[in-house]
Structure 1
């Protein structure tokens, strides 16, 4: 835990400027943390980096902070994209939080034939990702993209981006899957892939056939055991990020 609150701020950050925080952040500082004018906070975003700031005024859901010196300049935070079939709410929340902490650049729900989550709350996901970025000291918050059906995803995919599909079992015949860690070790460092994780119960036979026909799809394995969907997402990201 950090002694100095760290908040993501979309406003331009520069020394000497005064910024109004959003009502939720104001409530967090005053109502939850019991901070007062004069107390220090840290602000950050991907565009401007990380900055010291001081609470200038704080009342209920209103807070103004004055930006001081820059702590860290902006920098690139490359990472793989995570595409996964939504699962039960608590498990999905865990995936979004941990994927942020592990360094995923973006997160996108993929709807498959066996996806059992009826609704996707993107605002909730974005709030979870933002809070996780604040805690883990990232400068960026992963992009949370709109849901997409698997056939539409594959049909619009950029062939230059490897799509690593986590398959819990080998296709019929010879096992052509690579380990995710082995693929990362052999690939050029500048190449950032995407990891695709299916639903509980795995991809359907038709979906496996569709994946097999896409030249940009790389079948991968995540270990010797069959993993739960949420575990597979986190194990795959860990392997790709080393």
Structure 2
């Protein structure tokens, strides 16, 4: 069944009017008609069944029925991602949503090879990925900040898995015995971290410095690998 993220409050009998793009997708692309059912979620109220009552492809209308799943929250995981080229960054956002990240904080480092990001488009990609994966929330995409500012304002209660291309402990070893709670994974730009940046990161009391293996990984591969290993060790893949 089609899943759709909405910002509206979800409760039995509530009318929902998706935007033009969502309406066109439901009616013109998926060819839903009066009486067709979809699943709705908003990240707050769980997942609800809804019925098409007006199949206008420019502004269709739905009526909310019964709740099928209560709201759930995933792990408190932030992916801190240096800006990379658009195509790879979009892939990273999609996979971060699929792999359960709660948010993605974009960051500017000294060797970042991109200087801007279309946060609105990246958020739309995250929403689409959340719709397809069955999760009941959508990761928040946060605008880019300088790495130095991020380090200065870091909440020390959030553990940091610093993926350092110059070396560190194997991930599974570094995370052995680690517990859940607030975590972040930091992936640098394709040019790597500046030595001074790496030194500051290694000096953080909350940081676990890890290696992602003997081969040089592109940023998107590194992000996916790191999140996968973290989920298997500390996150909600443990059953």
- Normalising to structure 1: TM-score of the pair? 0.92
Which blocks of at least 5 consecutive residues in structure 2 are unaligned?
A: 233-239
Q: How far off is 1:178 after superposition? A: 2.3
Q: How far off is 1:89 after superposition? A: 1.0
Q: How far off is 1:187 after superposition? A: 0.7
Q: How far off is 1:146 after superposition? A: 1.6
Q: Secondary structure at the match of 1:199?
A: coil
Q: Name 1:179's counterpart in structure 2.
A: 170
Alignment counterpart, residue 120 of structure 1, candidates 99, 114, 117? 117
Q: Matches of 1:70 and 1:98 in 2, distance apart?
A: 27
**Aligned 1:51-62 pairs, distance under 5 A:** 51-62=48-59
Alignment counterpart, residue 230 of structure 1, candidates 216, 220, 232? 220
Q: How far off is 1:225 after superposition? A: 1.8
**Aligned 1:1-242 pairs, distance under 5 A:** 4-170=1-167, 177-188=168-179, 190-242=180-232
Q: Name 2:236's counterpart in structure 1.
A: none
Aligned pair in 2 of structure 1 residues 140, 184: CA closer, same or farther (>3 Å)? farther
Comparing 215-224 with 87-96, which one deviates more in the overlay?
215-224
Q: Is the 8 A contact 1:39 1:54 kept in 2?
A: yes
Q: How far off is 1:10 after superposition? A: 1.3
- Normalising to structure 2: TM-score of the pair? 0.93
Q: Is the 8 A contact 2:12 2:64 kept in 1?
A: yes
Which blocks of at least 5 consecutive residues in structure 1 are unaligned?
A: 171-176
Q: Matches of 1:240 and 1:120 in 2, distance apart?
A: 26
What's the RMSD between the two structures over aligned residues? 1.3
Q: Secondary structure at the match of 1:185?
A: coil
Q: Matches of 1:118 and 1:193 in 2, distance apart?
A: 26
Q: Matches of 2:73 and 2:96 in 1, distance apart?
A: 17
Q: Tell me how many residue pairs correspond in the alignment.
A: 232
